[in-house]
Amino acid sequence: MNEAEKYAVQWDISAQYFYEKSYYSWMSEKLNGYEMVLEIGCGTGYSTLALAEKGFKVLAVDKNANCIVKAKELLNSSGFKDNQVTFIEGDVAEDSFRKMLVENYSFDIVICWNVGTYWGKEMIQYYLPHMYEYGLNTDQIKENPESSYSELIIWKTCRIARTKNVPVHIVDRGGEILTEQTDPYYVMLKDEFGYPKILYDNLQADSISSGGRVLVTNGEVNIDKKIDIVFVSIVIC
């Protein structure tokens, strides 16, 4: 089993747990009033399923083909057809792929929930130029590659949303409650992309770590079976 396949298997366990605990339902409720959602990083489809169950039409994007296969199987087995959910394999770090999305699809809001990936030497080498473009230096990337990747993909997600002049919804997971007064990072993104408002909500939750996809929060690897986390909903609009 290669790293991409292993990631899909592990994330499927964690994502199913989030779905069964209704965490994805909570996230979906933040999108009331929108119809067509561009989902960056659909994973194995449990977040997509929660969106579809609430009546949203979804353009579900992931760069991991193994995740796309699992997501399609999940949505098909749950009775959702292609007219409600469209799966697109690709990497938003690539300029050509983002251009294709912007030029060929219409959507009302862009979301990026719990972004993550698998890591290895080839992955780091591939993403280094993108991370340098974003503004990270080598020491920052070495210290926390997962956090560096997350920041990169969230930044690219915001670029897509701003190009289409639509809001962006980000869900972060960590160990602390965030507000506009305590969080400089997402406020900085709001200002960088010229959005007038930012809205926060926090949900005390828990997550499978050991046994699912091992979580890294605040730069620390969590090896406990379950850990307490905070889901932070950030709507930039």
Question: What is the average pLDDT score of the chain?
Answer: 89
pLDDT, position 215: 54
pLDDT, position 143: 77
pLDDT, position 122: 76
Mean pLDDT value of segment 113-138: 78
User: Distance (Å, rounded) from C-alpha 214 to C-alpha 228?
Assistant: 13
pLDDT, position 231: 96
CATH assignment, 3-236: 3.40.50.150
Q: Which H or E run contains 198?
A: strand 198-208
Mean pLDDT value of segment 126-136: 78
| Domain positions in the chain | 3-236
pLDDT, position 66: 96
pLDDT, position 212: 55
List, for residues 194-225, the tens digit of each pLDDT value: 999 999 999 999 987 655 555 555 445 445 56
Mean pLDDT value of segment 66-91: 94
CB 52 within 8 A of CB 75: yes
List, for residues 134-144, the tens digit of each pLDDT value: 887 877 777 77
User: ∠ CA 156-159-163 to the nearest 5 degrees?
Assistant: 150
Of 90-99, 122-131, 143-152, which has the strongest mean pLDDT? Answer: 90-99
